[in-house]
Chain A
């Protein structure tokens, strides 16, 4: 068991800056998700930690040891690849045993550890089969079993669920979480799927253009985003931002009185479910363009104060396209942002 320290790691590809002095601490046993849109550098960062990519600057420590210049094999880690990379010409048993064999472990040891990893991921019936005979989900289990069999100090996962269909992804997500909690392995997990990151991680590091813009617990990232980018990327529907101009630490939107923490051009950020629907003359005016009954809730899309807004209403609410409503955001869950920088203002709420 060991933590990961990423210290000011930079990466240039020719003239392009892929990683801009990224620092991140992953505690021993912690599960951290690197979340961001494609091209944000999350996979590059993971591959640098793995040793599959060279860094341009900075250092990577695993368990306190500087591994920056070590081969992947000497870093004490295991990895699950996006395409699983389960060796097609080896049986499931040989795949799971691969890492242990490379470590020249005794036969009985290998047998025992392979069986245990296989039991953990419920692939015992397939140990003698070749991967081509398995479904995508089963291959995914083999890839995870192969990684856990070596009992790594650190587990790296690169979008491991992205090739599975939606239903299977949900199932594997829950299973991964329980398996990894049991194994207590320090995990760095790359994903572009914010629900996956929310569901799995102890902490989410949101990346944008080669930087980590926020690293916090999922609930914090969700309700207290560090920037409009984070608020817009995390959560479905994304956080709403309405333009407000404040003076004397006070502002008014239609019939709504607000107490922003600063003056000037601000953004009022609030989640679609953190609002109360009130009559039009009691809050900010919200004009409904589309009402979508989603079963568990009613999704309203429209605009308020000239900005697009999405509201999650109770499934029983009787709202139709064209209706005018009042919105009253929960004052404790408002996130104030600067219009100029897009960054959260200190002392929010």
Chain B
């Protein structure tokens, strides 16, 4: 007996409706809102206001700087961790489990944890003071100390979100049959050569997924930055938040949101193209 043709459509309808109501409608509304001229035909007013804002260039610069520093470090770290996990024969699951604990912590909570470590009277200063390396409470997260503030945010982001990349890479490693690296080894490749010539190319689809996932989320960085530095280091989503709730200007906030979305989409397109895999080269 075959089911009527409409059954599959009926079954996916709830999910489709849910997505439409809670994702596509707000998305379209946000886009429309960002182009709303407030009764005037000037549809780019919000964008002009956004671009003219004092923090705009800073937010763009800081966000890209953060993404540019955090994502490569996370990829390299996660790759190293994944390789180490591959070589482990016992206790692998426990190590993986411990490494992924930060994923269970909300980003704001993670930011507050690092605040407790790095603030004037935080653990770091206490230890440094007791070691005699500091004379007294020293601020690291001020507007006057942008470099240490930036480093602090980078550290917190790495601690918080590297495991996302790790999980995707570990899953990718498990898809590669062991015989490939064994064959490379038998035919004379040293570990690094085998990794470069065999493992890395076969892992490319996973690297691509991990990078897309992590980069899109990194462009949306906000809570950690907010917890550690307030608005001392403006970032794009932070500005959207400020315009929405502090300035009560929903149009400019929407313009920021659309900008973040366009940047994320562009990054995704770049990854899809730069790390594309020809279908005939798949196992």
In the complex, which residues of chain B have a beta carbon less than 8 angstroms from the beta carbon of A51? 186
User: Which of chain B's residues has its CB closest to A75's CB?
Assistant: B186
In the complex, which residues of chain A have a beta carbon less than 8 angstroms from the beta carbon of B278? 130
Check B183 against A81 for contact (C-beta < 8 Å).
yes
Q: Is A107 an interface residue (CB 8 A)?
A: no
When the two chains form the complex, which single residue of A77, A78, A81 contacts B182, counting CB atoms closer than 8 Å?
A: A81
Q: Is B179 an interface residue (CB 8 A)?
A: yes
Q: Is B184 an interface residue (CB 8 A)?
A: yes
Check B282 against A85 for contact (C-beta < 8 Å).
no
User: Which of chain A's residues has its CB closest to B185's CB?
Assistant: A72
Given A71-B185, A73-B185, answer yes or no on A130-B281 (Cβ-Cβ < 8 Å). Answer: yes
Question: Interface segment, B2-10, B107-115, B188-196?
Answer: B188-196
Cα-based distance from A51 to B185 in the complex (angstroms) = 9
Cα-based distance from A72 to B184 in the complex (angstroms) = 10
A48–chain B nearest beta-carbon distance, Å: 13
Q: Is A294 an interface residue (CB 8 A)?
A: no
Interface readout for A136-154 with B: 1 if CB under 8 Å, 0 if not? 0000000000100010000
Interface size class of B (residues with CB under 8 A): 20 to 34
In the complex, which residues of chain A have a beta carbon less than 8 angstroms from the beta carbon of B182? 52, 72, 81, 85
Check B180 against A87 for contact (C-beta < 8 Å).
yes
When the two chains form the complex, which single residue of A72, A89, A132, A150 contacts B201, counting CB atoms closer than 8 Å?
A: A89
Cα-based distance from A165 to B188 in the complex (angstroms) = 31
Cα-based distance from A88 to B179 in the complex (angstroms) = 12
Cα-based distance from A87 to B202 in the complex (angstroms) = 9
Check B177 against A73 for contact (C-beta < 8 Å).
no
When the two chains form the complex, which single residue of B180, B188, B201, B281 contacts A73, counting CB atoms closer than 8 Å?
A: B188
Cα-based distance from A98 to B282 in the complex (angstroms) = 18
Cα-based distance from A72 to B279 in the complex (angstroms) = 32
Check B280 against A73 for contact (C-beta < 8 Å).
no
User: Which of chain A's residues has its CB closest to B177's CB?
Assistant: A83
A105–chain B nearest beta-carbon distance, Å: 11
Cα-based distance from A203 to B44 in the complex (angstroms) = 84
Check A132 against B193 for contact (C-beta < 8 Å).
no
B16–chain A nearest beta-carbon distance, Å: 34
Check B186 against A132 for contact (C-beta < 8 Å).
no
In the complex, which residues of chain A have a beta carbon less than 8 angstroms from the beta carbon of B188? 73, 99, 102-103, 150
When the two chains form the complex, which single residue of B189, B190, B282 contacts A88, counting CB atoms closer than 8 Å?
A: B282
Q: Which of B197-222 contact A (CB under 8 A)?
A: 198, 201-202
Q: Which of B78-129 contact A (CB under 8 A)?
A: none
In the complex, which residues of chain B have a beta carbon less than 8 angstroms from the beta carbon of A99? 187-188
In the complex, which residues of chain B have a beta carbon less than 8 angstroms from the beta carbon of A79? 183, 186
In the complex, which residues of chain B have a beta carbon less than 8 angstroms from the beta carbon of A103? 188
Cα-based distance from A51 to B187 in the complex (angstroms) = 12
Cα-based distance from A83 to B180 in the complex (angstroms) = 10
Interface readout for B162-185 with A: 1 if CB under 8 Å, 0 if not? 000000000000000101101111
Q: Which of A170-193 contact B (CB under 8 A)?
A: none
In the complex, which residues of chain A have a beta carbon less than 8 angstroms from the beta carbon of B282? 88, 132
In the complex, which residues of chain A have a beta carbon less than 8 angstroms from the beta carbon of B280? 130, 132-133
Cα-based distance from A146 to B180 in the complex (angstroms) = 13
Q: Is B14 an interface residue (CB 8 A)?
A: no
Interface readout for A54-66 with B: 1 if CB under 8 Å, 0 if not? 0000000000000
Q: Is A198 an interface residue (CB 8 A)?
A: no
Check A52 against B186 for contact (C-beta < 8 Å).
yes
User: Which of chain A's residues has its CB closest to B193's CB?
Assistant: A102
In the complex, which residues of chain A have a beta carbon less than 8 angstroms from the beta carbon of B190? 73
Q: Is A206 an interface residue (CB 8 A)?
A: no
When the two chains form the complex, which single residue of A78, A82, A88 contacts B187, counting CB atoms closer than 8 Å?
A: A78
Cα-based distance from A73 to B185 in the complex (angstroms) = 6
Most chain B CB within a 10 A radius of its CB, from A71, A77, A102, A150:
A102
In the complex, which residues of chain B have a beta carbon less than 8 angstroms from the beta carbon of A73? 185-190
Q: Is A200 an interface residue (CB 8 A)?
A: no
In the complex, which residues of chain B have a beta carbon less than 8 angstroms from the beta carbon of A81? 179, 182-183
Cα-based distance from A341 to B186 in the complex (angstroms) = 41
User: Which of chain B's residues has its CB closest to A102's CB?
Assistant: B188
Cα-based distance from A90 to B278 in the complex (angstroms) = 11
In the complex, which residues of chain B have a beta carbon less than 8 angstroms from the beta carbon of A132? 279-283
When the two chains form the complex, which single residue of A50, A83, A133 contacts B186, counting CB atoms closer than 8 Å?
A: A50
Given A89-B201, A132-B280, answer yes or no on A102-B187 (Cβ-Cβ < 8 Å). Answer: yes
Given A81-B179, A83-B179, A102-B193, answer yes or no on A88-B184 (Cβ-Cβ < 8 Å). Answer: no
Most chain A CB within a 10 A radius of its CB, from B185, B186, B202:
B186
A13–chain B nearest beta-carbon distance, Å: 11
B182–chain A nearest beta-carbon distance, Å: 5
Q: Which 5 A-B residue pairings sit nearest by Cβ, starting from the closest?
A: A102-B188, A85-B179, A99-B187, A85-B183, A73-B188
Would you give 20 A-B contacts (Cβ < 8 Å), ordered by A?
A50-B186, A72-B182, A73-B185, A73-B186, A73-B187, A73-B189, A85-B179, A85-B183, A87-B180, A87-B183, A87-B184, A88-B281, A88-B282, A89-B202, A98-B184, A98-B189, A99-B188, A102-B188, A132-B280, A133-B280
Q: A72-B185, A73-B187 are in contact. List 7 more A-B contacts (CB 8 A).
A: A50-B186, A79-B183, A83-B179, A88-B283, A99-B188, A102-B189, A102-B193
